Structure formats: C-alpha cells, structure tokens
A and B are shown apart, each in its own frame.
Chain A
Amino acid sequence: MTTRARVLVRPKAGILDPQGVAVERALPALGFEGVGNVHVGRLIELDIEDPSQLEAMCEKLLANPLIEDYEIQAQRPDADG
C-alpha cells in the first residue's frame, strides 16, 4: 500500500526571499491590500510505500536544510474516511 505524501519546502525564516517580496509588492498593485509576510516555496507530492523514508529524502535531496525548512504531510488512503 502506498501513502500519498506532500512535502512543503519554504525559505528559512530570516533569509531574504526575493520571490516572496516580489509577490508581496505585486498584490497591492492589483488592489489586494493588507497582505504581508509573503513567502514562496515549493510543493512536492509523491506516492510512497515507506513514509518513514520521507525525512531522509528531505534532508538529502528534496530540501537544502541550510537554507530551507520542510514540512512533511503524509496520509494513508484509508484514513480519508
């Protein structure tokens, strides 16, 4: 049985995120006011047989822990209800 997993990768807090800044500046120009703290990251979706491997995967390839934080969201199909 495989598990559908999502890995969210974000720029680490405190490191300048030019993409986030660009989006944050673009939104008011379109009339969307009151938006702050915008960050742009990556979403990686995958099916995996052994979700316990996800953390090692993130550390080795999916994220660069020096500059990025990652968050693993894994859910077995039968848990969907």
Chain B
Amino acid sequence: MRFGVVRFPGSCDEVDAVLACERVPGASAQLLWHGDPDLHGVDAVVLPGGFSYGDYLRAGAIARFSPVMESVVAFSRAGGLVLGICNGFQVLCEAGLLPGALLPNVERRFICRQVNLEVAQATMPFTADCSAGELLSIPVKHTTGRYYAPPEVLDGLETHGHILLRYAADGNPNGSTNDIAGVRNEAGNVFGLMPHPEHAVDPLTGSVDGLKIFSSMAHAHG
C-alpha cells in the first residue's frame, strides 16, 4: 500500500500525514507536488491540513484548480481512495468530490483541542478498523470547520449512512450541522474530516486512535 500526500503551497500537515501513513504495517508514503499532475502510481491520495494557497477567497477554493487536483478527481472517479483532512476536506468540498461546505466556526475563533469522535459507521474503506459507536480521541485545529449541507442533501447523507464520524455528545466544537465531523461520498471512496487523525498516532501525544483511519485504508486496499 503506497499513500501519496499532496503538498500545496501553504500546506502544513503533510509531513505528519506521511509519518502517520508510514506507521501502518506494510505501508509507505510519499509527497506529491501540487503542480505535478502525475500521481506516481500511488494507491491512495491524502489531501493534508494547512492553508493551501493562503486559503484566499475561501478555504480550499483555489487549491481545487491546481494541476494535481485534476488527476485526483480522475483518480477518485476511477474508484481510488481519497482522504481529505481539515483543509483537505475543504478542498474536496470545493472540488465537488464531497457534498456540502465548511463555514466559519460558530464562535468565530480558531479552535485547537482534543475532541472525542463517535464512529457513526464502521465500514470499509475508512473506518472498518473501528467499531460502531466507538469513541476516537483526535485533535481538531481550525477556524472554518462548521459543516453545512442543504437540508435535502443532509437527509440523503443521514439516510444512506454517509456520515462516518460525529463529534461525541456535547462536544461539537464548531457548530457543525448534526455534529458532523466526517462524511464520505456516495461511492464510498472519498472521505473528508475536520479532525486530524495524523496528529493522533503516537502515545507521546496522548492518543493513537487516528491510526485506525490509515490502517482501515490499508486493509481495504488489501
């Protein structure tokens, strides 16, 4: 299993994402440059956290037009696994690969704290190594993380089980609709979440729960 982590100008969590992927037994990871449309044959793509292109205009709005994103879109249409973390989630929403959008936090502040996430769906390929209802301790750090989707879209997400992670009871840090922390696309191969699983892979920082997202992806790949 070979992960490719995209580095946009302004990304800041791509190195942590590479290190997290490499902690999965049998997996390797490499950086992909935003200006290079070649995905170098990776088996899964990770769009990392940060402030791609300065997040000018709207978070993720300009990154979606970078050369690598055309390839990522084609890769996802062909069934390739794509994980978007924080800014990567925003990019996937802007690119139309995931439904909805991320709005400024209700409290208007940058939030940086450990949160509990409830696994709403323990399914291949992103959360199969978790169990349904399990709590994952993973940090969030963002200003624009309030998930929003129009009511009719939201109904579909709920009905079809596309919401994989929710902020656990009374722990919604940003005002996300229905406590949504992470959603997948209809086909199931694209997943975006605001919390940072790549920052929860070492006991030194308090939790290794984030590793389950990366290991689930590796297991799904086989």
Determine the chain B residues whose CB is within 8 A of the CB of A16 once the complex forms.
103, 106, 175
Q: Does A27 contact B (CB under 8 A)?
A: no
B101 to A67, Cβ gap below 8 A?
Answer: yes
Query: Distance in Å from the Cβ of A43 to the closest Cβ of chain B?
Result: 12
Q: Does B170 contact A (CB under 8 A)?
A: no
Determine the chain A residues whose CB is within 8 A of the CB of B106 once the complex forms.
16, 18
Among B58-106, those with CB < 8 Å from A are 58, 61-62, 65, 94, 100-101, 103-106
Which one, B58, B61, B108, B150, contacts A18 given CB within 8 A? Answer: B108
A67 to B103, Cβ gap below 8 A?
Answer: yes
Binds B, one of A31-39, A58-66, A73-81: A58-66
Query: Distance in Å from the Cβ of B87 to the closest Cβ of chain A?
Result: 15
Q: Does A19 contact B (CB under 8 A)?
A: yes
Which one, A19, A22, A61, contacts B61 given CB within 8 A? Answer: A61
Q: Does B57 contact A (CB under 8 A)?
A: yes
Complex interface bits, B101-118 against A, C-beta within 8 A gives 1, otherwise 0: 101111110000000000
Determine the chain B residues whose CB is within 8 A of the CB of A19 once the complex forms.
104, 108
Q: Does A13 contact B (CB under 8 A)?
A: no
A42 to B104, CA, bound (A): 14
Residue of A nearest to B106 (CB): A18
Q: Does A30 contact B (CB under 8 A)?
A: no
Q: Does A15 contact B (CB under 8 A)?
A: yes
A15 to B151, CA, bound (A): 11
A67 to B148, Cβ gap below 8 A?
Answer: yes
Q: A15-B148, A16-B175 are in contact. Are A64 and B94 (CB under 8 A)?
A: yes
B94 to A18, Cβ gap below 8 A?
Answer: no
A18 to B105, CA, bound (A): 8
Determine the chain A residues whose CB is within 8 A of the CB of B101 once the complex forms.
64, 66-67
A47 to B104, CA, bound (A): 30
Among A47-73, those with CB < 8 Å from B are 61-62, 64, 66-67
A-B contact pairs, 15 of them (CB 8 A): A15-B103, A15-B148, A16-B106, A16-B175, A18-B107, A42-B57, A61-B57, A61-B61, A61-B65, A62-B57, A64-B61, A64-B94, A66-B149, A66-B150, A67-B101
